[in-house]
Amino acid sequence: MAGISTLHLNPNPSLKFNHQIHTSLNQKNQLFSILPSPRKIKRRNGGNLGICAVCATHSFDVVVVGAGIIGLSIARDLLLRSNLSVAVVDAAVPCSGATGAGQGYLWMVHKTPGTEVWDLAMRSRKLWELLADNVQDQGFDPLETLGWKKTGSLLIGRAEAELNQLKRRVQELSKAGVRAEYLSHDDLANKEPELGINQQSGAAFLPDDCQLDAYRTMAFIEKGNRLFKTLGRYAEFYRDPAVHFIRSNGKGKIDGIKTQKNTLYGRKATIIAAGCWTGSLMDKLLQDSHIVLHVPIKPRKGFLLNLENFDNLDIRHGLMEAGYVDHQKSVISESEGVDLDRNEALSVSMTVTRDACGNLLIGSSRQFAGFNTELDTFIVDRIWERAQQFFPALKEFSVKNLSEQMNVRIGLRPYMPDGKPVIGPAPGIPNLFLASGHEGGGLSMALGTAEMVTDMVLDNPLQLDCKPFSVEGRCC
């Protein structure tokens, strides 16, 4: 659309990464104090793994490929709950993938009790809450540290059929042990006075739902992981894409990863957590072997509008339209003859939050457009129009006259056709694990995923049934 070329585009939000680390986390001790006592952490590998990251061979217990929220959370959990040494490899930097576009809600309101994803999200939510409590107990502010806010969430319906669904949803959520309340029109209008709604409107309200800030949280996790560098247990290899598996015997066992610049042995495990690139990366890593493992993860492009210093809308909770539930679930089966890379069908549904810096975040779109991350102003306009339908106050503004204040975050969600992430050992390939395919819920499912992977690597009993997420039977 003409006129919005002056938008402050931010398709690679890592540009802001250093700044955000600086402003949100500047006290090293803050992180150390919530880690186990240093005495309990054994020194490994001579203690200087993080120093040389150029053209060399390094040995670790575990190599994690991908430094998004999933990869960094796995590294964190391994470092905290074992004595293993861990390397993290990324083709770029943290937050350059889908994680950097994430809106940050960890809500249960749009998830369905009784599903496997529900169980994983509930476990993760508990772990996120424990982490936020831990930060608080150490005398630090979870808002400053993680962008943590308990805003509650509202799933809003505007038609009779939707309201009936919302009432059923509230019953199911309550039965599943989550505090949930159905709000009729008047109650909803009291909770969110700026919503433009008619009498045919209502909402499911979850007062305990929380959100975080992806940048602050990633900076927190990264900084915590780096404290293990001096103990010889952690190293990062950023801007260094994985290119080959290391396989030292003929039995298919994976011994690590060759990157563009380094050879990284992973004695115990190699974990692929490369988001939407996991499928294409696995094809590449296995191309010279006889092993066939097709991981059907596809990129699902999404836009999020970030309005800085925008005080013209007063929102008091996290908001999402009821249509989001189907918008997220809608799956297109390749077996139906649809080429997902070519199918650009666009869907847009309203999600609005205010982040820890006070920015208004408005989402979001979904579309299959391959690995393309270009800005499309048509989509920006559709998201804005959708938000205007819910908030009449926004009708006074156009995308054009907000161009100075608006960043557009663009990310590729890792989409699995059956709607569930892939977490677990790769069948027939000893020492190799996958952890990817969280689509629009990677932030909310990260800590449960990390716990599951760590327990698998350590051969611990699992907190959840991992079968629904298994690689076997879903990737062939």
Ligand X SMILES: Cc1cc2nc3c(=O)[nH]c(=O)nc-3n(C[C@H](O)[C@H](O)[C@H](O)COP(=O)(O)OP(=O)(O)OC[C@H]3O[C@@H](n4cnc5c(N)ncnc54)[C@H](O)[C@@H]3O)c2cc1C
- List contacts with ligand X (CB under 6 A): 65-71, 89-92, 96-99, 101-105, 241-242, 273-277, 281, 302, 304, 363-364, 411, 413-414, 436, 438-444
Q: Which is nearer to ligand X, 203 or 273 (CB)?
A: 273
Residue 400 CB, shortest distance to ligand X, in Å, is 22
Q: What is the CA radius of gyration of the chain?
A: 22
What is the Cβ-side half-sphere exposure of residue 39, based on CA atoms within 13 angstroms? 0
Instruction: In whole angstroms, give the CA distance from residue 167 to residue 184.
Output: 10
Which amino acid, one-letter code, is at 456?
A: M
- For every residue of 154-181, DSSP letters joined together read EEEE-SHHHHHHHHHHHHHHHHTT---E
Q: What is the DSSP letter of 149?
A: B
**Cα 424 to the center of its chain, rounded Å:** 18
Q: Which is nearer to ligand X, 90 or 255 (CB)?
A: 90
Q: Which is nearer to ligand X, 10 or 145 (CB)?
A: 10
Residue 105 CB, shortest distance to ligand X, in Å, is 4
Q: Which is nearer to ligand X, 102 or 147 (CB)?
A: 102
The encoded tokens of residue 57 equal: 């061979």
Residue 444 CB, shortest distance to ligand X, in Å, is 4
Residue 93 CB, shortest distance to ligand X, in Å, is 7
SS3 411: strand
Q: Which is nearer to ligand X, 14 or 201 (CB)?
A: 14
Range 127-131, long-range pairs (CB < 8 A, 24+ positions): 127/447, 127/448, 127/451, 128/210, 128/212, 128/444, 128/447, 129/210, 131/447
Residue 10 CB, shortest distance to ligand X, in Å, is 12
Q: Which is nearer to ligand X, 30 or 240 (CB)?
A: 240
CB atoms near residue 245 (< 10 Å): 24
Degrees (nearest 5) of the Cα angle 33, 38, 42?
A: 150
H, E, C per residue of 215-230: HHHHHHHHHHHHCCCC
Q: Which is nearer to ligand X, 441 or 448 (CB)?
A: 441
Instruction: In whole angstroms, give the CA distance from residue 390 to residue 158.
Output: 10
Residue 389 CB, shortest distance to ligand X, in Å, is 19
Residue 59 CB, shortest distance to ligand X, in Å, is 19
The encoded tokens of residue 364 equal: 């979001």
Q: Which is nearer to ligand X, 231 or 305 (CB)?
A: 305
Contact 87, 240 (CB under 8 A): no
Residue 29 CB, shortest distance to ligand X, in Å, is 28
Residue 280 CB, shortest distance to ligand X, in Å, is 8
Q: Which is nearer to ligand X, 201 or 328 (CB)?
A: 328
Degrees (nearest 5) of the Cα angle 453, 458, 460?
A: 90
Residue 104 CB, shortest distance to ligand X, in Å, is 5
Scanning 84-213, the segments in alpha helix (DSSP H) are 116-137, 142-146, 160-175, 185-191
Q: Kindly report the backbone phi and psi dihedral angles of residue 353, in degrees, each rounded to the nearest multiple of 5, phi listed first.
A: -140, 165
Residue 99 CB, shortest distance to ligand X, in Å, is 3
Longest dimension (CA), the chain: 69
Q: Which is nearer to ligand X, 89 or 457 (CB)?
A: 89
Q: Which of 453, 427, 417 is nearest to 65 (CA)?
A: 453
Q: Which is nearer to ligand X, 4 or 445 (CB)?
A: 445
CA 57 → CA 153, 226, 256, 257, 284, distances in Å? 48, 20, 11, 10, 21
